[in-house]
Structure 1
Amino acid sequence: MKLRYLLILLIILSITSLFVGVSSLSILNIFNLSEYEMQILMASRIPRLVSILIAGAGISICGLIMQQLTRNKFVSPTTAGTMDAARLGILISILLFGAAGLLQQLIFAFGFALLGTYVFMKILDKIRFQDTIFIPLVGLMFGSILSSISTFFAYQFDLIQSISSFLHGDFSLIIRGQYELLYVAVPVIALTYFYADRFTVAGMGEDFAKNLGLNYRQVVNIGLMLVALVTASVVLTVGVIPFLGLIIPNIVSIYQGDNIKKNLSHTAVLGAVFVLACDIIGRLIIYPYEVSISLTVGILGSAIFIYLLMRRQKHGI
């Protein structure tokens, strides 16, 4: 899997994304756009493209970190309750503060996502039957409990429509002034490169990491904080994007191995390419309407997930 080919594909899809939509924009007139067309490009298409790139790369890297730290290829923000916990945090912030601002919602989403992921990690420590498939099933059940709690309180306080908006990932409402919170994820993604080698060592187990002089608990906690912050910003801005953090790291590891520092760039670019492709398909399939990103990623992602399960059964990896 050559990185330069992924980058070329990313550039092609990015350019395509800018000129696909209800409002007709032609790449042939890029240097002769009207004021209205320029407004569409600057206020809608470019913010949407940037949010897709950040969300796709961010959630994919979160999945890579979680899989490394848990030593389980089927753990991700979707299968560990991280996204469900972030959604619960957003609901709690709305209940406590009414018209809570984005910063308050981000703080609560981050706190609950971190707490939910930490609880999931503690559950793993207590489970003796460490089967590769069993662990994410526990995470899915844990996430379902958190989701049920969110739904219960949302019905109780007539907030079901508000909380439902965070359930389905959707880029159609992304415009200038409503996506900038995603920039929080950019320095966090950069930090993963700094800690990549430590995450790799931590993924070899606590005893092995300590023998090499690594502060295992500190590294794990930093990894969980990075995952929680990126997940919270994506869920708050875009909504839940299922399977992304699960399938992209697995595809990369099949071709690149398990060195996290080596895989970071490939994971980030492939995640962005995958989300971009799904978004373009969602906009074209029932044009001039569009299918939400959670639906297109969910359908393609579930098919890839089934393939990965069958591949593991056949090859044992």
Structure 2
Amino acid sequence: MKKRYLATLLIILSVISVFIGASEVTLSAILNGDSHQLYILFVSRIPRLLSVCVTGIGMSICGLIMQQLTRNKFVSPTTAATMDFAKLGMLIAMVFFAGASLVHKMLFAFICSLFGTFLFMGIMKQVKFQNSLFIPLIGMMLGNVVNSITSFIAYQFDLVQNISSWAQGDFTNIMKGNYELLYLSIPLVVVAFLYANKFTIAGMGEDFSTNLGLNHKWIVNVGLTIVALITSVIIITIGSIPFIGLIVPNVVSMYLGDNLKHSLGHTALLGVVFLLICDVIGRLVIYPYEVSIGLTVGIIGSVIFLYMLMRRDSNASA
């Protein structure tokens, strides 16, 4: 799929997204300067569109970086417990620092998600049976353990409802003034583009990258820090959204290969397009109400994930 087709589809979906919602917004009213519809457009619809775009780019690139560094196509922030540790960090901030600002909560989420990601990488190095499906299963088991601890703490401090709100990502509350933290992920995406070639080399193994004069440990640390930061920002602003970081990089690699520098732009574009499609479907299926983006992505993503598994098994048997 060429970039121009993805870009065209992105523009079409963006226009559709802006004009969908419980409150009517029409092109003619906007051109005529209707103050009410202009207010809805700039306070709600455009911030929501920007949030979807930044989230789609961030999560898909996080998945691509993790898959490259771990050399495993089924590793992502969802399957490596990164998101689960980020939620634990947010809960710790809420319990022990009740008056903490959004930025402070993000810092707690970042510290915990970074620790969890490094813990997963450490466990992965100790596992001798390096099966492509076995490694993410370990990550999911680790994530479930962390989720259990998070739920236990939440029950003790009567914060179960807050935990439930993070379990399903949602764009319904995105409005001007409460989504701008997402912009922190933009410079991180730029850094990912600058380090693309180095991530590709680091993904070939420590010995290979060291022979080429690359500091393997430093590059891995940079990549995991980018992943942890972007994941933390998205968790605290939108919530948990599954599968994007898992399936989007895999789809891109099917037709473009594994060179991270070549596939990074395609991955970012496809991530936005996929999330926009899920968002539009979620807003139309029970219109004027809407289904949370986490549920929509979960259903569509699980179907695509099952297809990838069956395709992998058929290729292996062939």
Distance 2:162 2:311 in 1: 39
Over residues 64-92 of structure 1, what are the superposed CA-to-partner deviations in whole Å (9 max), with x where a residue is unaligned? 00000000000000000000010000000
Partner AA of 1:289 in structure 2? Y
Over residues 87-139 of structure 1, what are the superposed CA-to-partner deviations in whole Å (9 max), with x where a residue is unaligned? 00000011111132101101001111100000000000000000001111111
Distance 2:30 2:215 in 1: 53
> Which stretch of structure 1 is more off in the superposition, 151-160 or 161-170?
161-170
**In the alignment, is residue 269 of structure 1 matched against residue 234 of structure 2?**
no
> Which stretch of structure 1 is more off in the superposition, 95-104 or 283-292?
95-104
Distance 1:259 1:114 in 2: 25
Distance 1:256 1:158 in 2: 48
Q: CA deviation at 1:28?
A: 3.6
Tell me which residue corresponds to 2:125: 125
Tell me which residue corresponds to 2:111: 111
What SS does the aligned partner of 2:166 have?
coil
What SS does the aligned partner of 1:44 have?
helix
Q: CA deviation at 1:8?
A: 0.4
Tell me which residue corresponds to 1:95: 95
Tell me which residue corresponds to 1:228: 228
What SS does the aligned partner of 2:23 have?
coil
Distance 1:103 1:141 in 2: 29
After superposition, where does 1:98-177 map in structure 2 within 5 Å? Answer: 98-177=98-177
Q: Point out where structure 2 has 5 or more consecutive residues left out of the alignment.
A: none
Q: CA deviation at 1:27?
A: 2.5
Q: CA deviation at 1:162?
A: 1.5
Deviating 4+ runs (over 2 angstroms): 27-30
Tell me which residue corresponds to 2:219: 219
**In the alignment, is residue 70 of structure 1 matched against residue 85 of structure 2?**
no
Tell me which residue corresponds to 2:36: 36
Partner AA of 2:187 in structure 1? P
Tell me which residue corresponds to 1:86: 86
Tell me which residue corresponds to 2:260: 260
Partner AA of 2:24 in structure 1? S
Q: CA deviation at 1:164?
A: 1.7
What SS does the aligned partner of 2:269 have?
helix
Distance 1:47 1:137 in 2: 36
Over residues 185-221 of structure 1, what are the superposed CA-to-partner deviations in whole Å (9 max), with x where a residue is unaligned? 0000011011000000000011111111110000000
Q: CA deviation at 1:248?
A: 0.1
Q: CA deviation at 1:166?
A: 1.4
After superposition, where does 1:162-311 map in structure 2 within 5 Å? Answer: 162-311=162-311
Q: Point out where structure 1 has 5 or more consecutive residues left out of the alignment.
A: none
Distance 1:178 1:123 in 2: 37
- Return the TM-score normalized by structure 2: 0.98
Partner AA of 1:187 in structure 2? P
Distance 1:278 1:241 in 2: 11
Q: CA deviation at 1:300?
A: 0.4
Q: CA RMSD in A?
A: 0.9
